[in-house]
Structure formats: structure tokens, C-alpha cells
Structure 1
Amino acid sequence: MDYRDAGVDVEAGRAFVDQIRNLVHSTFRPEVIGGLGGFGGCFQLPGGFKEPVLVSGTDGVGTKLKIAQILHRHDSVGIDLVAMCVNDVLTSGAEPLFFLDYLATSKLEKEQLTQVVAGIASGCRLAGCALLGGETAEMPGFYQVGEYDLAGFCVGIVEKSQMLDGSQVEVGDIAIALASTGVHSNGFSLVRKIVNDGGFSWSESPELLGGETIGETFLQPTRIYVKPVLAARQAGLEIHGMAHITGGGLPENLPRCLGKNQAIKINPNSWTIPPVFQWLAEAGSVSPQAMYNTFNMGIGFVLLVPPHQAEQTITFFQSQNIPSMAIGEVISGSGELVGLIT
């Protein structure tokens, strides 16, 4: 016997690397040293920093991958993978520098996985970071045929004096919400249960979803906020804190960017909840408490800014085609979120 008899095709792996080489190179920044194929990716730190701090993050896509695999649509989950990592790193004020991916599957299917890597490369270009390297693992018997899993790893950089850690946040700061593109990449175990238990089809087009199929709606990729937020800081907008609204929704994530003895008061009527969340609530008979504690409810990222810059911040992000609005303010407290049904 040989390795191919055991279900692992080494030659197919080499051919796959050759096939994705141009996708990877399309993301390279000037600081990248060398190319694809080494044992490690090399990256020279950019100049101009007095006290550079490296900020790292890692995440996956979760069970949203199940929907992509059911529908044979693999072009957007790579964007999700990058977004979940770079948006986290961004909350410290860091610029993402490079990204690594880990892709595991039962059998290497070049067309399927090339779509995935194309999405990862697209996400890296949107975030301005290099796809520095990765690992593709063929694991027969561990995954079902056609299944794959993804994990991502990102490293960013920020000047120590510009790093956000909660100490800059002040009582009275205004919470500016940046709109999500939908469910993003959290809560999909509940999404899938609602669809399956309700007898819905992924190809169905409920009226509330405006003509899109259920599958198309839930495969919308996570918005990447990196370039607009970094541009806002470079333009002189004062940002005291940032939060990426992921698993646990606003109640879990927004307090994470506060300082000591602070809380945040939210006005739940300050934004319109997108139809996809209304559909989920109705189709699954999900309570408001469970909705807010599971989904982003239309808000993917939040900035805390001084009151005199609130309108200017909203105007800036509207000009970047990101709907934004003031949804609350920082108050004295002990890390709680006030105003939502939680």
C-alpha cells in the first residue's frame, strides 16, 4: 500500500498549491519576503514605528460552512474567515499585516477548495493584509466526503501610544454603530435549526427576505471594517474604543471595550433591525432576549467617540457606504449593558 491507498493524494496537494499560487501572490504587501512553499512565511515589520506592538487573533467560520457545503457555494466563506480575525485585531487599533489559514478536508477537491482560497485572498485584499501562508490537511475518515473546516490566524501592528485598551474611553462617549451585512458568521447552529425544524428549503424565497433565497441571505459574507476604520483614524477622527459584534451579540461584546467603572446605555429604537433577523425571530419563535444574545441584530462593529465628533463620524462612514448611527452612550457602571432586553 501507499499513502494514496490510505486516501491521501500528495500529488494532488502539490497541484493545488500551484493552482492557488497566483491568488496568494495577489495579496502580498511590500514587507513579504520570499514566496509560497517554504516551511514558514517571512514578513519584515514596516518602518515608522517607535514602539510597535503586535496584535494577534484567530477564529473560524463555524457551522455557516455547512450551508456553503450544502449549496456548493464556497466563494464567500473565505471572506468570513478573514473578517472574523481582522475585525478582532482592528479593535485594538491595529492594522492587519498578514494572515495564515488552516484548511482541513476529507479529500482534496481542487475546484471546491480553490473557491475557498479565492475568498480568503479576496478578504485579505479587502483588509490590506498579506496571505502569508497556510496548511491544507487531507484527513480521510475524519471528515465526510465534501466536508471541510477552516481556521484563520492574523497578526497586526499598532503604535503603543495609539493602542486602544479601554483606558481612553470616557463617560459621555457616544456609541456609533456600523451596520452589518446580515448575520455575519455567528449563530448558525440556531439558524440551521430554525431552517431544518421549520421544514424550510435553502432555495426558498420568503417575502420578508425581499426576493433572495434563504441560502443566499445567510451566505452573505461578513463585512470587513479595517480600511474604513483605519482611514477614519488617519483622517483625525478621535476613536476611544471599538467592539466587534460577534457571538453573544451586543450584550457580550460591547462592554469588552469599556474602561473601569463604566457601562453603556443603548437606545434600542435608534436603528432598524434588518428583515433577516425579523424572519429568524418569527420562523423560529425566538424571544427578543435570545435574538440579542445570539445575533448582531444589524450591527457588526461599534465605535466609541467623544460627543463633539459623533456627527462627523457618522458622516465619514456614510461616505464609505457603511450605514452608521448613534445607538447609545457610555455611563458610569460596572461593565453592564443597559437598555436592551437581555
Structure 2
Amino acid sequence: MLKKKMTYRDAGVDVGKIRAAQKSIGDIISITHRFPRKGRVLSGFGHYAGLVKLGSQTIALHSDGVGTKVLVAQLMNKFDTVGIDCVAMNVNDVICVGARPVAFIDYIALRQPNEKLIEEIAGGLVEGARQSQMAIVGGETAVLPDVIAGEGDNAFDLAGMVMGVVERQVLGNSIKPGDVILGVESSGLHSNGYTLARKVLLSKYSVDENAEHLVQTVGEELLTPTRIYVKPVMEVLEKTRVHGLANITGGAFTKLTRLNKNVRYMLDGLPSVTGIFKQIQVDGDIDIEEMYRTFNMGVGFCVVAPKASAEQVIRIFGKHKMRCSPIGRIEKGAGVVATLEGKKHML
């Protein structure tokens, strides 16, 4: 009898159901767009950030958290990097609409009061803010022993919200056939797919163990902070022309359709499966399609640009010590098609 291949759904996360729930929420909250007595909602759901027009300025807002990566921090008893992840998950989304991050607020929910834990988390938040060139202007710390699960006094959850000011609005509506898709390297898993990654790796290894395809211990690989793309993206917006910006997070490369659903994203230059991604695929016996639907696979951010802009975009990311290269192109049609191991797959 053939063994069933593991999927994200098997690990407890059904992306299809999540998207259906998100659509329902979007339909419900859209009625509020006519409530404000000042300002005008330009975009409130379905993209990487909500947009509100206030006088001559357009404000972008987004909220996100770190997800189950916090459980790895608890296992490692190391909390000075998840704050970077929290900031990254917010700013990397808000820049996708052409907004410069300006201000951030955090929300830390604890099982028990723990001053050392808070100080370590705050240190990571400050480092993330430094890399993003923005201010942390407030936040909330709550002690919720009946809500926050986990082992011991280090159980916590972490989320935040960012406000940005749009410098050059980029929503993807100008994406057209002939455009080039550029991929910027990730620092690893970033902060997505951890329910599946933990289920696979931590069922076989402890956080202190090494594994065949990893250069660090399992715990160190899982805790590697999410790369922050603010500086190069802001320079790209200032110096060249782009048609779309995509943070590759939950749902991986299917996220590209957020930008424009009326074109086809042909991905024929994606990196091969290496490092932690290879370890997860091998140990979890996971199909190649599932890997590229769930994880960033080494590409943490995508820029869709006219061919004439591609080389300059690559140079700017290189200046910031981030590898950027063509991974595909835009064609007529719809959806995302990726060439994986020599075969085309609809993601």
C-alpha cells in the first residue's frame, strides 16, 4: 500500500478554507468603508495592505504576526529574533503597495508575566525597526493565562501593525505580457509554513540536532530571522519603473495572483530545492508542487518589471547584498504555472 504524501492540510492548515474565510471577512467588513467622516478608503481587502486617502497623502495599513515560529523560540529559549520576524512580516507586505513604513505598534500576549522574555522580544523589534527605518510608537502587553497555550512560563504570541505612507502606488494593474518576474533570495523559511515544517522536522530531530541538508542545527535553521526588503524596494521605487511587488509568504507563489488576476505568471527559473526546504521535502515525503505552494523555496520577494527595468532592479538589490535574478515572465492567460523538475505545474 502506497504511503500518502504529507501536505500542509495534513499538518492542520487548509489554505483553501483560510482563503474562503478571508473572503467572507472581506465581504462583511467592506460595509465599514463608508463609515469614516474623514479620509477615503481606496483599497480595503485582497491586496497586501489597505489604503486610505487623507488629504494629499495615501496611508497604507497592515497587520500580521509570527505564527507558530514562536513555538520554536520557546523550545530554543531564545527570543531575540522573533521581533525581527514580526516587523518583517508587516513591512514586507506594506512595501508591496509602494508604501514606506513609518510607524509600528506591537502586541505581546503572555501566559505569565516575564520581564526577560519581553526585553528579548523588544530587542528584536527594535532591530527590525532599525532595518526598516521606522519608529515603534506604542503597543500592548497582555497576560492571558487562560488563552495562551504552551509549556512553561515562556508561552507567548506576538503580532504587530504597521503604517506606511505611499510614495509610488503599485497595485499590479499595469502588469502585462512581456514583463519580467524577478526573484529576491530569502533567508530561509521566513515566518510561514511552520505548522508543516515543525511537524516534519521536530518529529524526527531535536532543536539541537544536525540534519543532512542543514548547515546549522534544526533549531537555528528554524529561527533564522525573516529578511527585510524595505531599503532596496524603496530605492527601486525611487529610481526605476516596476509594475508589481509581491512578498512570498503563506500560499507561496500563488500570492502573485494578488497583484493581477488577468495575466499568467510563468515561473521557469525558480531555484532548485536545497537546504531546509530539501530537508523538509525528504523527511516529510512531500510532493514538489506542495513545497512550492507552501514555502518560499528560497525566493522571499518578487518584482514584476518591464524588461527595460530588470537590470537596474537587479543592480539595486545587489547593492544591498541581496541576490536578485529573473525567475519567470508574464504571459497571456491566468494563474501561476511553474516548471518544477522539468515539468510544468499549475500552482
What is the TM-score with the length of structure 2 in the denominator? 0.79
Matched with 1:217 is 221
Q: Confirm or deny: 8 A CA contact 1:107 1:146 kept in the other structure.
A: yes
Deviations 1:123-145 (A, max 9, x none): 11111111010000012333343
For residues 250-261 of structure 1, the aligned pairs below 5 Å read 250=253, 252-258=254-260, 261=262
Match for 1:132: what amino acid?
Answer: V
Question: 2 CA distance for matches of 1:158 and 1:68?
Answer: 34
SS of residue paired to 1:338: strand
Alpha-carbon distance between aligned partners in 2 of 1:83 and 1:99, rounded to the nearest angstrom: 11
| 1:172-211 equivalences in 2 (<5 Å) | 172-197=178-203, 199-210=204-215
Structure with larger Rg: 1
* Alignment match, 1:303: 303
For residues 240 and 248 of structure 2, the distance between their equivalents in structure 1, rounded to whole angstroms, comes to: 21
Asked if the contact 1:94–1:156 (Cα under 8 Å) also holds between the matched residues in 2, the reply is: yes
SS in 2 for 1:339: strand
Query: Which runs of structure 1 show a deviation greater than 6 angstroms over 4 or more consecutive aligned residues?
Result: none
Label 1:303 to 1:203 Cα distance change in 2 as closer, same or farther (>3 A).
same
How far apart, in 1, do the equivalents of 2:173 and 2:251 lie? 23
Aligned-partner SS, 2:159 = strand
1:85 is aligned to 90
Alignment deviations for residues 15-60 of structure 1 (CA, whole Å, 9 cap, x no partner): xxxxxxxxxxxxxxxxxxxxxxxxxxxxxxxxxx983110100011
Q: How does 1:143-292 map to 2 (within 5 A)?
A: 143-144=148-149, 145-159=153-167, 162-197=168-203, 199-210=204-215, 212-234=216-238, 236-250=239-253, 252-258=254-260, 261-267=262-268, 269-292=269-292
> Which letter maps to 1:315?
R
Distance 1:296 1:319 in 2: 23
Q: Confirm or deny: 8 A CA contact 2:267 2:329 kept in the other structure.
A: yes
How far does residue 327 in structure 1 lie from its aligned partner after superposition? 0.5
* Structure 1 residue 284 displacement after superposition: 0.9
Give, in whole Å, the separation in 1 of the partners of 2:318 and 2:117: 36
Mapped to 2, the partners of 1:231 and 1:74 lie a distance apart of 31
Conservation of the 8 A alpha-carbon contact between 2:235 and 2:316: no
Q: 1:326 corresponds to which residue?
A: 326
How many aligned residue pairs are there?
Answer: 285
* C-alpha distance in 2 between matches for 1:182 and 1:274: 10
TM-score (norm 1): 0.80
Residue identity matched to 2:95: L
CA RMSD of aligned residues (A): 1.5
Q: 1:337 aligned to 2:340?
A: no
Tell me, in whole angstroms, the C-alpha distance in 2 between the residues paired with 1:261 and 1:294.
23
Structure 1's unaligned 5+ residue stretches are: 1-48
For 1:106 and 1:206, the matched residues in 2 are separated by 32
Matched, 1:94 2:99: yes
Provide the rounded CA distance (Å) in 2 between the counterparts of 1:167 and 1:194: 39
Deviates more, 1:80-89 or 1:306-315: 306-315
CA distance in 1, matches of 2:107, 2:71: 17
Partner AA of 1:150 in structure 2: L
Q: Kindly report which structure 2 residues correspond to 1:37-52, keeping only aligned pairs within 5 A, or say none.
A: 51-52=56-57
**Distance in 2 between the 1:196 and 1:208 partners?**
15
**Preserved contact between residue 186 and residue 246 of structure 1 (Cα < 8 Å):** yes
- Shift, 1:271, TM fit: 2.6
Q: Matches of residues 88-127 of structure 1 in structure 2 within 5 Å?
A: 88-127=93-132
2-structure distance, mates of 1:270, 1:285 = 20
1:195 to partner: Cα distance: 2.0
Tell me the distance in 1 between the aligned counterparts of 2:290 and 2:125.
31
Identity across the alignment (%): 37
1:60 corresponds to 2:65 = yes
- Residue identity in the other structure for 2:87: V
Partner of 2:40: none
Gaps (5+ residues) in structure 2?
1-53, 340-344
Deviation at 1:270, TM superposition (A): 4.4
Instruction: Tell me how far apart the structure 2 counterparts of residues 88 and 102 of structure 1 sit (CA, whole Å).
Output: 18
* 1:223-279 deviations in Å (ceiling 9; x for gaps): 110111101222x211111000000111x2112112x53111110x44343311011
- For 1:78, the aligned partner's letter is G
Rounded Cα–Cα distance in structure 2 between residues aligned with 1:270 and 1:133:
40
- Equivalent-residue separation in structure 1 for 2:211 and 2:170 (angstroms): 42
